[in-house]
Amino acid sequence: MSRMLVVCAVTSFMTCASLHAGEPRVGFSGYGAARIGMTRSELQDALGKRLVDESPGDEFNRCAYVYPDGVPRDIGYMLLEGRLARIDVDIDSVSTISGARIGSTEAQVRALYPGRVKTTPHHYEGPVGHYLVVLSPDGRLGVRFETDGERVTRWYAGTHRAIQYVEGCQ
């Protein structure tokens, strides 16, 4: 009986590992079929699901978060002026193309992006907590990791403007 449990556990682990191996990773310009700069309609088509607004009717600042309908809100899509500007990641199973994710140490992030990480104090958690920012070669896109001073607690990728916002659309 215990041998059967071991076989099931190994099979389960291998199945999960193979499922995650093929999952898309977040890069400067997008996540899977979602690409920075897409209109809401293009994003909806790319994700294959109706998009639900986090706070409908936010016409004043022209910024909104949308999520695929019926899917956990672990990945948020920020629209600025009607176009995808940022992808927020709040789950540890999704990583950057280089492999950084929630739970990565600051040292691991710096090792993944040697000489490219700019560190600044976190708006709320500083001076202990940090923002670790990595920009694309042209500086138009980037990834911003939020840390507690040791590990990444959340992160997002998108336009240089959008990754500077401290509280979502602000």
Per-residue confidence (pLDDT) for residue 102, from 0 to 100 = 97
> What is the distance between the alpha carbons of residues 89 and 68, in angstroms, rounded to a whole number?
14
Per-residue confidence (pLDDT) for residue 170, from 0 to 100 = 72
pLDDT averaged per 10 residues in sequence order, the chain, 170 residues: 37 34 82 96 96 69 88 92 95 96 98 97 91 97 97 97 89
Q: Residue 162: which region, alpha, beta or left (left: phi > 0; alpha: psi -120 to 50)?
A: alpha
| CATH number, residue 84 | 2.60.460
Find out whether 31 and 75 touch, Cβ atoms under 8 Å: yes
Structural domains in the chain (count)? 1
56 burial type by CB count under 10 A (0-12 exposed, 13-18 middle, 19+ buried):
exposed
**Does some domain include residue 8?**
no
Domain that holds residue 40: 24-163
**Does some domain include residue 54?**
yes
Amino acid at 154: R
Per-residue confidence (pLDDT) for residue 57, from 0 to 100 = 55
Per-residue confidence (pLDDT) for residue 117, from 0 to 100 = 98
Per-residue confidence (pLDDT) for residue 72, from 0 to 100 = 86
- pLDDT, one tens digit per residue, over 3-22 is 433 333 333 333 333 334 45
Per-residue confidence (pLDDT) for residue 59, from 0 to 100 = 52
> What is the distance between the alpha carbons of residues 135 and 145, in angstroms, rounded to a whole number?
12
**Does some domain include residue 9?**
no
